[in-house]
Structure 1
C-alpha cells in the first residue's frame, strides 16, 4: 500500500549530511550546485538523494522538494538551512495581518503584492494557481489539480509538487518565509486571510446587490453593480489551459452579463435611458445570440420613441439566430416584437427581474 502524507517518515530519520542535501534540494539547487555548496562530489550528492527518497518514502525529486519545504528544511527564496529545525505544523491557521497577495482571475491571470506584479511562470503553472484561487479555501488534492489543469491528458510526470513549490516562492508573503499555499492532510489550499481573490469580491458584491434590490434601493443597486463590473478586465482566465479554466470562463462570463442586465434594468427604471441604451447596444453586439439582451434593448428603444430602431434590433436578432443556430426567436423575443408593432407600451414595462439571470 503506498505511503500517505500522514504516515510518511519525517526528516528526523535522516543523518546530518542527508538533511543538508534535502535542504539544498528543497531550495531548488542542482546536483552540481549542491556539491559545490556542501563540498561533496556529484556522485555523493546523488547517493545521498537516493537514500533520502528511500528513507522518506518519496517518489522523486519533485516530491523531495515539497517535503523539504513542508518539514521546514527549506524556505522559499532562502538558501539551504543546515541547522536543526522543528517540523512546520500542518495546521492551517489565519495568518497575522500583513500585506495581502491580490489574485485576479477576471481577465488574464495576474497576481500582485504592494502594487508590484508577480511572475507566475508558464501557463500550466498559472492554471494550478487559478484552480487553488477558485477553490474558495477548499483543499485540493494532487489528483484534483491534475484533473482541473490537464484533464484527460495528464503530464508525463507528476509536476504538481514542482509547480506548488515555484508558486510558493513567487507568492511569498512579505519578506518572511510564510507560505501563501498551505498543505493540509487532504491537499493544497491558499492560506485564509493572506490572499484576496477578485472572484470572491464579486460574489460579496452580488450578495449586497440582492439586499439592495429587496430593500427597494435602486441607486445603491446600480452603484454596487458598477463596482462588481469594474473588477472585470476582459475575458476571465484568458488563455489559461485546462477543463476548469474553460468551464469557469463560461460561468464568469455569464455572471458578468447577469450583473450588467440587472444594472441596466434599474437604470432604465430610474430614467437613465441614454446611458443604458448605449451600454445595451455594446453588450448586444458582443453577445448577439443573447435574446434577453435583445428584448431589453428593443423595449428601451421603444420607450424612447425609437420604434424603427427597436424593430431593426429584432430583425437582426432573428437573422442571427436563423443563420447561426437554425432556430426561430424565442417566445419572449416574439412577444416583445408583437407589442412594439401593436404599440402596447404597458406590456413593455421593464420589470427588473424579467429576462435576466439570477445574481443574488
Structure 2
C-alpha cells in the first residue's frame, strides 16, 4: 500500500477502503479511465465515487482532492507515478471481470484473451474458483451435444497460460491437477467475488439496522456490473450463468430500492425504478416498488397507471393476470392505505 503518515487518519476515517484507493489514485494524477482500469471496474462508478469523496471530505473539486491527498500524507512526492498505482489494492496479479463482457488485466494491464471459445473456458474457471473443472465438463458446458474433435481444451488452456503468465514465477494459471483445471481464488481477483462480498456487507448492515450503509454496499455491488454478464460468449453453461447473474442484478436493485424507500429517499428511488421498470416491464415486484414510491410522493394517478401498464403487458405477452402482491398494492392505494408496515418486495 502507499506510504502514509498519521496525518492521513482523518481521510481514512471518512472514506471506505475503495474510496481511499480512489483518492490515492486521484492524488497520483490518474484519470477516471485509468482508475477504472486499475480497479477493474466501470468508469462511471469511479466518477460517482470521486463525487462521494468530495462530499465526504468537504472538498470543492478534483484539484482540491489532489491537494488533500498530498497534505494528509496519502501521496508522497516522487512516488506513485502517473499511469501506475502502487500498492496491493491496485496490483493484483490477475483481475477478471465476468459481470459484463469478459475482461482481464495482468499486473494492471488489459490482456487479449483470444477467440470466444477460449474466453469461455476462462469464464467457466473464473465462475468456479478453487474448484477443479474436468475436460469433459468444459466440453459439455461450452459445446453441449456437439463437442469438437481433437484436443481443443488443452490447447486453449495452454494459450491461456501464456496470456495470463504473471512475472517470472513457475506457477501456471489455470492450474492443473488430477481432477481438471482450476483458478485459485488467492491468485485471481474476480469481480463476482467482490460483488458477493458487498452483498454480504449489505445484509449485515441491514441486520444491524444501518440501512444507509446497506444501500451504500448494495450500490457498490451493482456498480460492478458493466453490461450484460459474459456478453457474446457461447455455450449452455455460460448462458445459464448469464441468466443467473442478470437475475442477481435485478434482485439487488430491488433490495436497494426497498431500503431506499424505507429511508424515505423517494425521489432518487423513483428515477431508478422507472429505468428498471423500462428494462424489466414484466417484473411485478419492481412495479410494486414503483407504485409505492409514486404513491408516497403524492403521484397516485401515476402509480395506478403503472399497475394498468403492467397488467396489459402481462396479459398481452404472457397471458396471465397480475399476482396477488401487485393487486393488493392497487387495492391499498384505492383505499388510501399509507401503512409503512406492508412488506416491501426485494427485502
> TM-score normalised to the size of structure 2?
0.72
Q: Does 1:103 align with 2:96?
A: yes
Moved more, 286-295 or 196-205: 196-205
**Match of 2:263?**
270
Query: Secondary structure in 2 aligned to 1:301?
Result: helix
- Aligned 8 A contact 2:107 2:166 in 1: no
- Aligned 8 A contact 1:127 1:241 in 2: yes
Q: Which of 145, 149, 158 is matched with 2:142 structurally?
A: 149
How far the C-alpha of 1:158 sits from its partner, in A, is 3.0
**Match of 1:137?**
130
- Aligned 8 A contact 1:141 1:187 in 2: yes
- Matched ranges for 1:81-100 at <5 A: 99-100=92-93
- Aligned 8 A contact 1:299 1:350 in 2: no
In structure 2, runs of 5+ residues without a counterpart are 1-90
Query: Secondary structure in 2 aligned to 1:112?
Result: strand
Aligned CA-pair RMSD: 1.4
**Match of 2:330?**
337
State the distance in 2 between where 1:106 and 1:303 align.
34
- Aligned 8 A contact 2:92 2:108 in 1: no
Query: Secondary structure in 2 aligned to 1:120?
Result: coil
Q: Does 1:304 align with 2:294?
A: no
Number of residues paired by the alignment? 257
Q: Does 1:125 align with 2:118?
A: yes
- Matched ranges for 1:212-231 at <5 A: 212-231=205-224
How far the C-alpha of 1:355 sits from its partner, in A, is 2.1
State the distance in 1 between where 2:184 and 2:272 align.
39
**Match of 1:286?**
279
State the distance in 2 between where 1:292 and 1:181 align.
41
The one-character-per-residue Cα deviations of 1:238-278 (angstroms, maximum 9, x if unpaired) are 11100111111111111111111111111111121111110
Identify if the C-alpha distance between structure 1 residues 328 and 152 changes in structure 2 by more than 3 Å, giving closer, same or farther: same
Q: Does 1:355 align with 2:345?
A: yes
- Aligned 8 A contact 2:129 2:184 in 1: no
How far the C-alpha of 1:286 sits from its partner, in A, is 0.2
- Aligned 8 A contact 1:99 1:173 in 2: no
Query: Secondary structure in 2 aligned to 1:103?
Result: strand
How far the C-alpha of 1:349 sits from its partner, in A, is 4.2
How far the C-alpha of 1:350 sits from its partner, in A, is 5.5
- Aligned 8 A contact 1:99 1:174 in 2: no
- Aligned 8 A contact 1:288 1:320 in 2: yes
State the distance in 1 between where 2:185 and 2:259 align.
35
State the distance in 2 between where 1:156 and 1:139 align.
22
State the distance in 2 between where 1:170 and 1:350 align.
53
Query: Secondary structure in 2 aligned to 1:162?
Result: helix
How far the C-alpha of 1:114 sits from its partner, in A, is 2.9
Moved more, 133-142 or 111-120: 111-120
- Aligned 8 A contact 2:266 2:296 in 1: no
State the distance in 2 between where 1:311 and 1:213 align.
30
State the distance in 2 between where 1:311 and 1:197 align.
42
Query: Secondary structure in 2 aligned to 1:302?
Result: helix
- Matched ranges for 1:3-22 at <5 A: none
Query: Secondary structure in 1 aligned to 2:256?
Result: helix
Kindly name which structure, 1 or 2, has the bigger radius of gyration based on alpha carbons: 1
State the distance in 2 between where 1:155 and 1:290 align.
39
In structure 1, runs of 5+ residues without a counterpart are 1-97
- Aligned 8 A contact 2:92 2:189 in 1: no
Q: Does 1:179 align with 2:177?
A: no
- Aligned 8 A contact 2:92 2:188 in 1: no
- Aligned 8 A contact 1:265 1:350 in 2: no
